[in-house]
C-alpha cells in the first residue's frame, strides 16, 4: 500500500456513517488501512484475528470487512461462511499471494473483491465504496421486509387466504369458490388486503407476496388450471418470520 494517501479523493458523503472492519494479523497492514480509511471520514475498527472480530459487539449499520484470506486460526474463507447470514456485511479479501482457486471460491461466495498485496489505495477505496453501497442496500431491504411482515401479520386469517389466491391469479369469483364465500365478500376482503398491505396495484401485491415467501397448495381444480408462471411466483416453502407459510385450503376440504 502506498504511504501517501493525500491524493486519493473520495466523497465523504459516500462513506458517511459507515464502518470498515479490518481483520489482518499483520499490524502494519492494519495500521496502513486504518490510516487510509481515516481519509474518507468513515469509522474503522481493526482486529488481529477472525475470532477477535466475531467476539466483539457490532452495531448494525452500513459497513464492510477487509479481511486477510490467510488468517491464523479461523481463516478468511471460514469467517465468510460464518457471516453468510449477515448480508449487510460484505467482504473484501486481501492476500499476500495470488491464488486463483481461493479467489474464485471467495467471489462465488459473494465477496466484493479479492486484492493481492501490495495494495493500491485507489483500488482498496473503490472496493470499500462498493461494499458500503451493497451494505446500505441490504439494510434497506431488511428494513422493508420487516415492515412487510408487520403489515402481513395485521391481516386476518381470511384476508391472508384471499391475498394468496388473488396474487396467484384467481378472479374474485374463483376465490369465492375456493373459500366458500360470496364474490362481494371477496371484494371486501381484497380491499382490506390492499389497504393494510399498502399495495397500490395487484402487481405490487404480487411482489410483496413473493418477498414474504407465501405458498399455496395446488389441490383444487382452479389452481391446476392457473398459469404456471403465476404459481411459480409463489412456489416457495418458507413463510414470513421464518415459520412455515399458512397454506390455503378449500372450503370443501
Smallest CA-to-CA distance from 67 within 99, 100, 105, 112 is with 112
Residue 97 has what pLDDT? 86
C-alpha distances (whole Å) from 179 to each of 147, 159, 164, 216, 239 are 28, 11, 12, 13, 21
The three-class DSSP label of residue 185 is helix
Residue ranges for the chain with pLDDT beneath 70? 1-14, 215-253
CA distance 225 to 230: 11
Report pTM: 0.70
pLDDT score recorded for residue 3: 39
Phi and psi for 148 in degrees, rounded to 5? -60, -40
Q: What is the pLDDT of residue 27?
A: 96
Q: Which domains does the chain have, with CATH numbers?
A: 15-143 (3.40.50.2300), 154-242 (1.10.10.10)
Q: Where are the beta strands (DSSP E) in 158-250?
A: none
User: What's the pLDDT at 227?
Assistant: 53
Omega before residue 86 within 30° of 0, cis: no
Amino acid at each position: 500500500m502506498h504511504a501517501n494517501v493525500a491524493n486519493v479523493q473520495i466523497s465523504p458523503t459516500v462513506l458517511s456513517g459507515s464502518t470498515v472492519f479490518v481483520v489482518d494479523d499483520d499490524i502494519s497492514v492494519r495500521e496502513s488501512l486504518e490510516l487510509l480509511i481515516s481519509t474518507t471520514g468513515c469509522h474503522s475498527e481493526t482486529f488481529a484475528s477472525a475470532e477477535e472480530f466475531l467476539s466483539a459487539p457490532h452495531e448494525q449499520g452500513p459497513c464492510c470487512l477487509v479481511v486477510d484470506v490467510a488468517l491464523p486460526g479461523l481463516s478468511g474463507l471460514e469467517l465468510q461462511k460464518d457471516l453468510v447470514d449477515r448480508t449487510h456485511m460484505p467482504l473484501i479479501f486481501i492476500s499476500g499471494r495470488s491464488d486463483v482457486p481461493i479467489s474464485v471460491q471467495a467471489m462465488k461466495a459473494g465477496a466484493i473483491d479479492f486484492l493481492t498485496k501490495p495494495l493500491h489505495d485507489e483500488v482498496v477505496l473503490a472496493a470499500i465504496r462498493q461494499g458500503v453501497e451493497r451494505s446500505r442496500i441490504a439494510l434497506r431491504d431488511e428494513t422493508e421486509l420487516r415492515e412487510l411482515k408487520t403489515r402481513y401479520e395485521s391481516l386476518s386469517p381470511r384476508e391472508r387466504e384471499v391475498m394468496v389466491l388473488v396474487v396467484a391469479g384467481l378472479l374474485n369469483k374463483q376465490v369465492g369458490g375456493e373459500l366458500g364465500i360470496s364474490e362481494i365478500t371477496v371484494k371486501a376482503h381484497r380491499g382490506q388486503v390492499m389497504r393494510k398491505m399498502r399495495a397500490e396495484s395487484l402487481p405490487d401485491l404480487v411482489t410483496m407476496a413473493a418477498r414474504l415467501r407465501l405458498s399455496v397448495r395446488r389441490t383444487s381444480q382452479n389452481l391446476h388450471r392457473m398459469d404456471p408462471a403465476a404459481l411459480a411466483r409463489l412456489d416457495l416453502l418458507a413463510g414470513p418470520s421464518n415459520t412455515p407459510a399458512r397454506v390455503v385450503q378449500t372450503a370443501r376440504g
